[in-house]
């Protein structure tokens, strides 16, 4: 009986302490980026110039970031606006990963569009906004 009580107490202590472990909160947002194709053609639904593809990805990341920051409350927005350039200039520090959802390289419209699902480390963002 004494060993059972010790086991139960140990299990309860472990259960109580487990929520205290820090975990990053990751927020998922969708972003869309478009680039005009100037004298470029499409190959495999991508522009022939890799730089245009990468620029569209960066625009889509910024689009997702803008949607994420639009959800901030007034106090958090005020704090964010003070450091907006610092954040947008270093998105790779806050975006943990992204997945391409769709892409379209239109020869007729001369536009390349890409859609991403972006994961943002909200815990890291909040920590910077709080510490000022």
Q: Is the pLDDT of residue 14 over 70?
A: no
Q: How far is CA 76 from the centre of its chain?
A: 17
Report pLDDT digits (tens) over 78-105.
999 999 999 999 999 999 999 999 999 9
Report pLDDT digits (tens) over 63-73.
999 999 999 99
Report yes or no on whether pTM surpasses 0.85: no
Question: Any residues with CB less than 8 A from the CB of 94 and at least 6 apart, and which?
Answer: 65, 87, 120, 121, 124, 125
- Does residue 23 sit in helix, strand or coil? coil
Structure tokens at 111: 């536009």
Q: Do 35 and 52 form a contact (C-beta atoms < 8 A)?
A: yes
């Amino acid at each position: 009986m004494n060993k059972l009580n010790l086991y139960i107490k140990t299990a309860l202590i472990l259960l109580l302490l487990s929520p205290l472990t820090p975990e990053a909160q990751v927020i998922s947002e969708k972003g869309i980026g478009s680039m005009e194709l100037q004298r470029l053609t499409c190959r495999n639904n991508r522009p022939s110039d890799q730089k245009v593809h990468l620029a569209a990805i960066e625009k889509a990341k910024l689009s997702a970031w803008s949607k994420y920051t639009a959800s901030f409350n007034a106090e958090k927005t005020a704090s964010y606006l003070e450091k907006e350039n610092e954040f947008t200039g270093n998105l790779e520090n806050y975006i943990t990963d992204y997945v391409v959802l769709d892409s379209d390289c239109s020869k007729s419209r001369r536009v390349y569009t890409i859609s991403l699902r972006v994961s943002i480390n909200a815990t890291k963002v909040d920590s910077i906004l709080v510490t000022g």
